[in-house]
Amino acid sequence: MDERDIRGLLNDVTSGRLSRRAFVQTMVAVGLTAPMAAQMLASAGVAHAQPKAPAFTPTRRGGGGPLRVLWWQAPTLLNPHFATGTKDQDGSRIFYEPLAAFDPDGNVIPILAERTPSLENGDLARDGLSVTWRLKKGVTWHDGKPFTADDVVFNWEYAADPATATVSVGSYRDLDRVEKVDSHTVKVVFKKPTPFWYDAFCGNRGQLIPKHVFEPYKGAKSREAPANVKPVGTGGYRFVDFKPGDTLRAEINPNYHVPNRPFFDAVEMKGGGDAASAARAVLQTGEYDYAWNMQVEDEILRRLEQAGKGRVEIWSTGACEHIQVNFTDPWKEVDGERSSAKTTHPTLSDPAVRQALNLLVDRASVQEQIYGRQGQTTANYLNAPSRFRSPNTKWEFNVDKANQTLDQAGWKRGADGIRAKDGKRLKFVYQTSINAPRQKTQAIVKQACAKAGIDIEIKSVVASVYFSSDPANPDTYSHFYTDLQMYTNGPGAPDAQLYMEQFTTWQVASKDNKWASRNITRYRNEECDRLWKSATTEMDPVKRAAMFIRINDILIQNVVVIPVLWRSGVGAATAKLRGMDLTGWDSTLWHLPYWHKA
Amino acid sequence: MSTVSESKALHALHRSHEAPISLWRDAGRRFRRHRLAMVGVAILGVMVVAVLAGPFFYRVPINEIDFKDKLKGPSRAHPLGTDDLGQDLLARMLYGGRISMAVGVTSMLIAISIGTLIGATAGYVGGPTDHTLMRVTDLFLSLPGLPLLLLIVYLFRDSLKTWVGPEMGVFLLVVAVIGGLRWMPVARLVRAQFLSLREKEFVEAARGLGAPPLRQVVRHILPNAMGPVLVAGTIDVAAAIIAESSLSFLGLGFPPDIPTWGRILFDAKDNLDFAPHWALFPGAAIFLTVLSINYIGDGLRDALDPRKVLQK
């Protein structure tokens, strides 16, 4: 183990990927004493471990006062099956619960289920064709009705019905059937062997809604259900008041199915403002207890933390900030759409140009100067869970090499210093959402490209427009009407299947599918298609991981995407707040009933 | 004795005959006595000269990234300090000032031209034309500015960009949009002036002497109506600079790497407590420019009002 390795490990600890204890153990294993290891952590700016207090075991429900949380993009509706984006998923999660959730390590943790299905307990079929869920008994909905297998079956019928038009349809559509075995047992039957069985009824898309409330609104009338904004769930808090896009209030559920939980008497979720002002409200003024999604320069967070009112929470996720390369021509209109799959990009279709771009992204500077603790440099698009991370890739920042690559490919500098070939100039529009760290990344990339004779025009779009699913707006990320674009994306569950489907031919975003399909780069590769299809039914976890790694490698070698940063989850919490167990695989609020103040 | 004073008086009469005190000369004298306006002229003059000539003397690039020097306060190498990418703020402000001021002045000219044209036509012609034009003005006044801006930028940005390039395209667009949405007060002012002036004796005299309508308007009415217009114009410059800043803030103005004053301020706002210089300098620039323009407008209003007695 040399200096570089140790530095790497330290980096892992600072960014939350490695626990303090694991680090100290590694160091002790290579012959250092524990105090010395702790010293190294201290000099790398890692806070000392909290004295391991016994886990908080409350003796009664409630008594914690109100919990005030800040979601600067506020929820707009509270039906988990219609949740677009994390804001709605999180808002719903206060009230609704799935059968199982995902903890920080990606483990499947039973919530409304009695136990996690596994091969050992026989709930998971060996052929991968079915899974049996045993439901927790004695759970009631907020209106007093019991929670039973009928509710679970109903959720499948509701979400899979195309007329209901749910957002979660992808997780339920391909199930063969969901059977009620008895009042508290359901069997999910798949059409083909399914290694990713923990999709339906798990995590964000698995939040369960009550049959007796939503049954009249299944199908075309789904959007008219009053309960879409007045949830009736099983969670630790029940509904009080909701102003879409502004505030959401909840009060303690006196009949919650976990004894002596939750701790707080009420929850208030407030929206509005931006990430930086939200960070201030928690870290500097202490008005709020928790703020979500702190995409703010690390330097600013560090300075705010010095006020001592709160701390920044960092945890590992699978999210990757990356630059996408457009494989179609965004400047030519074909059949009423630009970036049409019928076109090819005039200059980016040249592999040399893409290779050069890959060499011009100074990931180290972006990480060190902008994101700091909030991420680490990476060569991979698929970074987590760790079994899916490719060891075959590497990245470098090298302007000279980029220049050579372009010279060799025949791109000559013109009088203005911009390279051109056959009258086509290397001039790209590079878009992203409005967000200070992103604009800085753009500036860094633009400067390096200028040195290599590539002219970059920077464009930034308001986040609410850029990430909207409005088919009429050409500025959304899924239209991708520019040459390059940058945003963050990650596997929402501890599995790569849904995430890697973004590079399959049948997912190409176009006018026909109202740009709702997920292959935004419009990259098409038969090998990717084939690999992805086999991975969906491959029951051997090692072989399956190898397939996803191969897709990742194809994407990196062909520079379909340029990974910039493997981002961590970042939140701001008041100093006394405990028990969040923040995870990269599920909603921030997955553990809400266990949140408490020390 | 009497002959001397007589000849002096004659002389004075003669001199005043040589150089009659015209409206404009009188206004100039009044204006020079308005102290705040003169301070405004001085400050604005310095700013304009700095912005126009500055980049020729101060040759630091506006986008040189240097992380070693980030967020530094004013120093010899960087007179106004640096931002969080280590870019020199003085260079950026000089460059951005050109854009901010050009936007301000050009959109003011557009607003005044449209406003004067419409107001003059409505006021002079009267009747149904007046009615129609004033209802159009009301219509424009009632338009919600921001959604309209969004719509126009959304519709025309790309075509303009391909036509004249990103920076120029956005410039034209911003200027046209801001100018095109601020002419209504000017039109109303001009119309009111025309309504009263066209009935005045000197206009009737001109009409009686056979002056065609265009000559009546251009030679006789318009010069007398320009006072309030100039004042409104100066205030428009200030408003346009601020409007450009808010557009940049919404991401609809210039590309984010073009450092207009509003943009620099927007970038700086999160760092206010530990790098105040970053926000203070562009903020002060906007503040001083807008304030001096407003004072100049104030001075002009006093100066161009012939009824106001010159105080000795």
Which residues of A lie inside 8 Å of B (Cβ-Cβ)? Answer: 276, 296-297, 299-300, 303, 331, 365, 368-369, 434, 436, 439-440, 442-444, 446-447, 457-462, 475
Q: What is the pTM of this model?
A: 0.79
Query: In terms of domains, do A415 and A494 share one?
Result: yes
Chain A residue numbers touching B273 (CB-CB < 8 A)? 303
Nearest to A444 among B65, B256, B274 (CB): B65
Amino acid at A96: Y
For residues A581-586, average pLDDT: 91
Tokens of A178: 């969901």
Tokens of A7: 């530095």
Query: In terms of domains, do A510 and A541 share one?
Result: yes
Query: In terms of domains, do A473 and A356 share one?
Result: yes
What residue has token string 């790398």? Answer: A44
For residues B99-107, average pLDDT: 89
- Determine what percent of chain B is predicted with pLDDT higher than 90: 19
Instruction: Determine the pLDDT at residue A140.
Output: 95
Q: How do residues A419-475 score in pLDDT, each as one tens digit? A: 999 999 999 999 999 888 999 999 999 999 999 999 999 988 888 788 887 888 888
Instruction: Give the residue with greater pLDDT, B192 vs B24.
Output: B192
Instruction: Determine the pLDDT at residue A54.
Output: 45
A48 part of a folded domain:
no
Q: How confident is the model at residue B133 (pLDDT cuts 50, 70, 90)?
A: very high
**Per-residue pLDDT at A176 exceeds 90:** yes
Instruction: Determine the pLDDT at residue A305.
Output: 92
A50 part of a folded domain:
no
User: Which domain CATH number covers A176?
Assistant: 3.90.76.10
In angstroms, the CA A194 to CA A191 distance is 8
Instruction: Determine the pLDDT at residue B200.
Output: 87
Query: In terms of domains, do A126 and A263 share one?
Result: no
**Residue B113 CA neighbour count, 13 Å, CB half:** 9
The sign of the dihedral angle between the CA atoms of B43, B44, B48, B49 is negative
Residue of B nearest to A439 (CA): B256
**Per-residue pLDDT at A291 exceeds 60:** yes
**Per-residue pLDDT at A52 exceeds 50:** no
For residues A523-544, average pLDDT: 93
In angstroms, the CA A234 to CA A144 distance is 10
- The 3-class secondary structure across A21-60, one letter per residue, is HHHHHHHHHCCCCHHHHHHHHHHCCCCCCCCCCCCCCCCC
For residues A296-318, average pLDDT: 91
Chain A residue numbers touching B279 (CB-CB < 8 A)? none
Query: In terms of domains, do A332 and A440 share one?
Result: yes
**Per-residue pLDDT at A42 exceeds 60:** no
Residue of B nearest to A458 (CA): B255
In angstroms, the CA A393 to CA A416 distance is 35
Tokens of A25: 């153990």
Q: How confident is the model at residue A558 (pLDDT cuts 50, 70, 90)?
A: very high
Where in chain B are the domains?
A: 25-58+89-311
A49 part of a folded domain:
no
Residue of B nearest to A276 (CA): B270
Instruction: Determine the pLDDT at residue B294.
Output: 85
Verify whether the Cβ–Cβ distance A443 to B65 is below 8 Å.
yes
Residue of B nearest to A482 (CA): B158
Instruction: List the domain range (segments joined by +) for residue A376.
Output: 320-567
Instruction: Determine the pLDDT at residue B3.
Output: 53
Nearest to B270 among A300, A369, A457 (CB): A300
Query: In terms of domains, do A267 and A194 share one?
Result: no
Instruction: Determine the pLDDT at residue A577.
Output: 93
Chain A residue numbers touching B70 (CB-CB < 8 A)? 369
ipTM, two decimals? 0.71
Name the least confident of A502-506, B150-154, B222-226: B150-154
Chain B residue numbers touching A365 (CB-CB < 8 A)? 67
User: Which domain CATH number covers A499?
Assistant: 3.10.105.10
- Residue A405 vs residues A245, A399, B151: alpha-carbon distances, Å: 49, 10, 42
Query: In terms of domains, do A404 and A530 share one?
Result: yes
- Determine what percent of chain A is predicted with pLDDT higher than 90: 66
In angstroms, the CA B156 to CA B168 distance is 13
Nearest in space to A203 (alpha carbons), one of A302, A80, A118 = A80
A26: Cβ contacts below 8 Å, ≥ 6 apart: A9
Q: How confident is the model at residue B228 (pLDDT cuts 50, 70, 90)?
A: confident
Chain B residue numbers touching A451 (CB-CB < 8 A)? none
Name the least confident of A117-131, A324-338, B223-237, B242-256: B242-256
- Residue A1 vs residues A5, A26, A31, A35, A524: alpha-carbon distances, Å: 6, 10, 11, 18, 42
Instruction: Give the residue with greater pLDDT, A463 vs B2.
Output: A463
A113 part of a folded domain:
yes
Over chain A, what is the mean pLDDT? 89
**Per-residue pLDDT at A73 exceeds 60:** yes
Q: At what angle do helices B222-249 and B261-268 cross, to 10 degrees?
A: 30
Query: In terms of domains, do A374 and A344 share one?
Result: yes
Nearest in space to A315 (alpha carbons), one of A589, A55, A104 = A104
For residues B94-106, average pLDDT: 89
The CATH architecture to which B25-58+89-311 belongs is Orthogonal Bundle (1.10)
Chain A residue numbers touching B251 (CB-CB < 8 A)? 434, 460-462
A474 part of a folded domain:
yes
Interface test with B, best of A300, A360, A425 (most B CBs within 10 A): A300
Instruction: Determine the pLDDT at residue B312.
Output: 42
Query: In terms of domains, do A373 and A302 share one?
Result: no
**Per-residue pLDDT at A51 exceeds 50:** no
Query: In terms of domains, do A297 and A195 share one?
Result: no
A441 part of a folded domain:
yes
The sign of the dihedral angle between the CA atoms of A245, A251, A252, A257 is negative
For residues A272-280, average pLDDT: 88
Instruction: Determine the pLDDT at residue A50.
Output: 41
Query: In terms of domains, do A73 and A215 share one?
Result: no
Which residues of B lie inside 8 Å of A (Cβ-Cβ)? Answer: 63, 65, 67, 70-71, 84-85, 154, 162, 166, 250-251, 255-257, 267, 269-271, 273-274
Query: In terms of domains, do A387 and A504 share one?
Result: yes
**Per-residue pLDDT at A45 exceeds 70:** no
Nearest to A296 among B71, B154, B270 (CB): B270
Q: How do residues A341-358 score in pLDDT, each as one tens digit? A: 999 999 999 999 999 999
Tokens of A58: 């409350």
- Number of domains chain A contains: 4
In angstroms, the CA A216 to CA A142 distance is 19
Verify whether the Cβ–Cβ distance A462 to B85 is below 8 Å.
no
**Per-residue pLDDT at A4 exceeds 70:** no
Verify whether the Cβ–Cβ distance B256 to A462 is below 8 Å.
no
**Per-residue pLDDT at B11 exceeds 70:** no
**Per-residue pLDDT at A35 exceeds 60:** no
Q: Which of A191, A225, A259 is the last residue of a domain?
A: A225
